[in-house]
Amino acid sequence: MTTEVASAALHPPLVRQRVRRRVTLEHVVMGGAIVCLIVLVVLPLLSLLLGSVRGPEGMSLDHFSEVLTGRLYLNALKNSLILGAWTGLFSLIIGLTLAWAVSRTDVPWKPLLQLTATVSYLSPPFLTAIAFTYLFSPNAGLINVLMRDVLGLTWLTFNIFSMAGLVLVTVMHTFPFVYLLASSALQSVDASYEEAAQILGASKLRTAISITGPLVAPAILSGTLLAFVNAIALFGSQAIIGLPARIVTLPTRIYALFDYPPEYGLASALSLVFVLITIVALYLQRAFLARRSYVTLAGKGSRPQLMQLGAFRWVLLGFAIGIFIVSIVAPYSTLIAVSFSKSWGLDFWKGLTLANYKFILFEYNVTQRAILNSLMLATAASTIAVLLGAVIGWIDLRTLIPGRKLLDYFALIPLGLPGIVVAVALIQFWLAMPVALYGTLAILLLAYVGRYIPLSVRAANASLRQVDPSLEESAQILGASWLTTMREITLPLIRPGLFAGWLLVFVPVIQELSASILLFSSSSITLAVAVYNLYETGYFEPVAALAMINMVIIGAAIWLAHWFGGRSLTARTEAAPVNV
Amino acid sequence: MAGISIKGLSKSFGRRETSFAAVADLDLEIKDNQFVTLLGPSGCGKTTTLRLIAGYIIPDRGTIEVGGRMLSSPSAVVPPEGRGMGMVFQNYAVWPHKNVFENVVFGLKLRRMPAAAARKKVEETLALVNLSGLEARYPNELSGGQQQRVALARSLVVEPDILLLDEPLSNLDAKLRERMRSELKELQRRTGITFVYVTHDQAEALALSDHVAVMDGGRLQQYGTPFEVYSRPANRMVADFMGLVNLVPGTIRAVNNGSGTVELAPDFAVEVAALDGFQPGESVDVAIRPENIRLAAPGASSAGKLAKIANHVFLGNISEYYVALSSGPVLRVQTHPLQHFEVGESVALEMDATQCSVFRRASGDAKPV
Q: What percentage of chain B has pLDDT greater than the value 90?
A: 40
d(CA B97, CA A487): 12
Q: Which of A387-401, B31-45, B114-128 has the least mean pLDDT?
A: A387-401
Strand positions, DSSP E, B14-68: 20-30, 35-39, 61-66
What pLDDT band is residue A292 in, cutting at 50, 70 and 90?
A: low
pLDDT in tens, A99-123: 989 888 888 888 899 889 988 988 8
d(CA A32, CA A232): 34
With CA atoms as reference, report the closest residue to A499 among A567, A450, A407. Answer: A567
Task: Return the SS3 of B294.
Answer: strand
Residue A199 within a domain: yes
The parent domain of residue A525 ranges over 21-60+354-580
Residues of chain A with Cβ-Cβ distance to B74 below 8 Å are none
Q: What is the mean pLDDT of chain A?
A: 83
Residues of chain A with Cβ-Cβ distance to B108 below 8 Å are 6, 10
Put simply, whether A22 touches B (Cβ < 8 Å) is no
Put simply, whether A577 touches B (Cβ < 8 Å) is yes
Residues of chain A with Cβ-Cβ distance to B151 below 8 Å are 474
Q: Looking at the predicted structure, is the pLDDT value of residue B88 above 50?
A: yes
Domain count across chain A: 2
Last residue of a domain, one of A311, A333, A352: A352
Q: Looking at the predicted structure, is the pLDDT value of residue A70 above 60?
A: yes
Q: For chain B, list the domains and their CATH numbers.
A: 4-240 (3.40.50.300), 244-365 (2.40.50.140)
Contacts of residue B291, Cβ cutoff 8 Å, sequence gap at least 6:
B334
Q: Does the distance separating the beta carbons of A576 and B96 come in below 8 Å? A: yes
pLDDT in tens, A234-285: 999 999 999 998 999 999 999 998 887 888 888 888 888 888 888 888 888 8
Instruction: Output the pTM of the full model.
Output: 0.78
For residues B62-90, average pLDDT: 89
Q: Does the distance separating the beta carbons of A11 and B84 come in below 8 Å? A: yes
d(CA A339, CA A358): 11
Give the distance from residue B52's alpha carbon to the nearest chain A alpha carbon, in angstroms. Answer: 12
Query: Same structural domain for residues A26 and A38?
Result: yes
Q: Which long-range contacts (C-beta less than 8 Å, at least 24 apart) are formed by B335-343? A: B335/B294, B335/B295, B339/B295, B341/B295, B341/B309, B341/B312, B342/B309, B342/B312, B343/B309, B343/B310, B343/B311, B343/B312
Give the distance from residue B240's alpha carbon to the nearest chain A alpha carbon, in angstroms. Answer: 29
Q: Looking at the predicted structure, is the pLDDT value of residue B190 above 60?
A: yes
Residue A4 within a domain: no
Query: Same structural domain for residues A53 and A80?
Result: no
Q: Which of A6, A470, A572 sits opposite B89 (nearest CB)?
A: A470
Q: What is the DSSP letter of B291?
A: G
d(CA B93, CA A185): 32
Q: What percentage of chain A has pLDDT greater than the value 90?
A: 28
Residue A151: the pLDDT is 83
Give the residue from chain A lying closest to B13, CA to CA: A400
Strand positions, DSSP E, A104-188: none
Q: Which of A10, A481, A569 sits opposite B111 (nearest CB)?
A: A10
Q: Which domain CATH number covers A455?
A: 1.10.3720.10
pLDDT in tens, A403-414: 777 888 888 888
Put simply, whether A481 touches B (Cβ < 8 Å) is yes
Query: Same structural domain for residues A127 and A39?
Result: no
Q: Does the distance separating the beta carbons of B91 and A577 come in below 8 Å? A: yes
Beta bridge partner(s), residue B314: B319
Q: What distance lies between CA A400 and its chain's CA centroid?
A: 31
d(CA A550, CA B182): 65
Q: Does the distance separating the beta carbons of B79 and A12 come in below 8 Å? A: no
What's the Cα-to-Cα distance from B350 to each of A346, A393, B3, B95, B275, rounded to whole Å? 109, 64, 44, 57, 20
Secondary element (H or E) of residue A424: helix A419-432
Query: Same structural domain for residues A345 and A358?
Result: no
Q: Looking at the predicted structure, is the pLDDT value of residue A296 above 70?
A: no
Query: Same structural domain for residues A145 and A26?
Result: no
Do B100 and B142 contact (CB within 8 A), yes or no? yes
Last residue of a domain, one of A352, A380, A400: A352
pLDDT in tens, B97-156: 899 999 999 999 988 999 999 999 999 999 888 889 999 999 888 988 899 889 989 998
What pLDDT band is residue A297 in, cutting at 50, 70 and 90?
A: very low
What's the Cα-to-Cα distance from B201 to each of B46, B147, B332, rounded to whole Å? 12, 21, 21
* Interface predicted TM-score (ipTM): 0.78
Residue A308: the pLDDT is 78
**Mutation to test the A interface, candidates B81, B119, B132, B172, most A Cβ within 10 Å:** B81
Q: Looking at the predicted structure, is the pLDDT value of residue B27 above 50?
A: yes
Q: What is the DSSP letter of B141?
A: G
What's the Cα-to-Cα distance from A67 to each of A64, A416, A420, A429, rounded to whole Å? 5, 20, 17, 21
Q: Looking at the predicted structure, is the pLDDT value of residue B59 above 70?
A: yes
Q: Looking at the predicted structure, is the pLDDT value of residue A167 above 90?
A: yes
Query: Same structural domain for residues A104 and A56?
Result: no
Contacts of residue A427, Cβ cutoff 8 Å, sequence gap at least 6:
A264, A438, A518, A519
Residue B20: the pLDDT is 83
Give the residue from chain A lying closest to B56, CA to CA: A473
Q: Looking at the predicted structure, is the pLDDT value of residue B229 above 90?
A: yes
For residues A121-142, average pLDDT: 88
Q: What is the DSSP letter of B305?
A: E
Residue A304: the pLDDT is 65
Residue A13: the pLDDT is 38
Residue A82: the pLDDT is 94
Q: Looking at the predicted structure, is the pLDDT value of residue B368 above 50?
A: no
Query: Regarding predicted confidence, which is higher, A497 or B65?
Result: B65
Residue B312: the pLDDT is 92
Query: Same structural domain for residues A195 and A135?
Result: yes
Q: Does the distance separating the beta carbons of B93 and A471 come in below 8 Å? A: yes
pLDDT in tens, A412-447: 888 888 888 888 888 888 888 888 888 889 999 999
Residue A324 within a domain: yes
Last residue of a domain, one of A352, A379, A403: A352
Secondary element (H or E) of residue A213: helix A213-233
Residue A15 within a domain: no
Q: Does the distance separating the beta carbons of A20 and B58 come in below 8 Å? A: yes
Put simply, whether A195 touches B (Cβ < 8 Å) is no
Residue A145: the pLDDT is 84
Residue A14: the pLDDT is 35
Length of chain B: 369
pLDDT in tens, B193-213: 999 999 999 999 999 999 999
d(CA A20, CA A292): 42
Give the residue from chain A lying closest to B14, CA to CA: A400
Q: Looking at the predicted structure, is the pLDDT value of residue A6 above 60?
A: no
Q: Looking at the predicted structure, is the pLDDT value of residue A320 above 70?
A: yes
Residue A439 within a domain: yes
Residue A493 within a domain: yes
Residues of chain A with Cβ-Cβ distance to B125 below 8 Å are 1
For residues A489-515, average pLDDT: 88
Query: Same structural domain for residues A127 and A52?
Result: no
Beta bridge partner(s), residue B26: B9
d(CA B306, CA B327): 11
With CA atoms as reference, report the closest residue to A49 among A454, A516, A432, A514. Answer: A432
Query: Same structural domain for residues A317 and A380?
Result: no
Residue A130 within a domain: yes
β B268-272/B259-265 pair status: antiparallel
**Mutation to test the A interface, candidates B47, B48, B60, B97, most A Cβ within 10 Å:** B97
Q: Looking at the predicted structure, is the pLDDT value of residue B53 above 90?
A: yes
Residue A5 within a domain: no
Give the distance from residue A502's alpha carbon to the nearest chain B alpha carbon, in angstroms. Answer: 21
Cα four-point dihedral sign A413, A42, A276, A270: negative
Q: Looking at the predicted structure, is the pLDDT value of residue B247 above 50?
A: yes
pLDDT in tens, A524-564: 999 999 999 999 888 888 999 999 999 899 888 888 877 77
Residues of chain B with Cβ-Cβ distance to A20 below 8 Å are 58, 76-77, 79
What pLDDT band is residue B34 in, cutting at 50, 70 and 90?
A: very high
Q: Does the distance separating the beta carbons of B93 and A468 come in below 8 Å? A: yes
Q: What is the mean pLDDT of chain B?
A: 87
Q: What is the DSSP letter of A108?
A: S
Q: Does the distance separating the beta carbons of A476 and B79 come in below 8 Å? A: yes
Q: Which of A280-284, B172-176, B273-277 has the least mean pLDDT?
A: B273-277
Put simply, whether A9 touches B (Cβ < 8 Å) is yes
Q: Looking at the predicted structure, is the pLDDT value of residue A196 above 50?
A: yes
Q: Which of A344-348, A385-389, B75-79 has the least mean pLDDT?
A: A344-348
Length of chain A: 580
Put simply, whether A516 touches B (Cβ < 8 Å) is no
For residues A203-232, average pLDDT: 85
Query: Same structural domain for residues A104 and A218?
Result: yes
Residues of chain B with Cβ-Cβ distance to A2 below 8 Å are 159
d(CA A541, CA A340): 8
Q: Which of A1, A18, A479 sits opposite B110 (nearest CB)?
A: A479
How big is the A-B interface in CB pairs under 8 Å? 144
Residue B74: the pLDDT is 87
**Mutation to test the A interface, candidates B50, B92, B95, most A Cβ within 10 Å:** B95
Residues of chain A with Cβ-Cβ distance to B92 below 8 Å are 577, 580
Alpha helices in chain B (DSSP H): 46-54, 100-110, 115-128, 144-156, 174-191, 202-208, 226-231, 236-241
Query: Same structural domain for residues A342 and A416?
Result: no
Give the distance from residue B252's alpha carbon to the nearest chain A alpha carbon, in angstroms. Answer: 50
Q: Does the distance separating the beta carbons of A19 and B89 come in below 8 Å? A: no
Task: Return the SS3 of B332.
Answer: strand
ω before A261 within 30° of 0 (cis)?
Answer: yes
Residues of chain B with Cβ-Cβ distance to A4 below 8 Å are none
Put simply, whether A12 touches B (Cβ < 8 Å) is yes
d(CA B76, CA B262): 52
Residue A298: the pLDDT is 43
Query: Same structural domain for residues A301 and A391?
Result: no
Phi and psi dihedrals of B264, rounded to 5? -100, -25
Residue A555: the pLDDT is 87
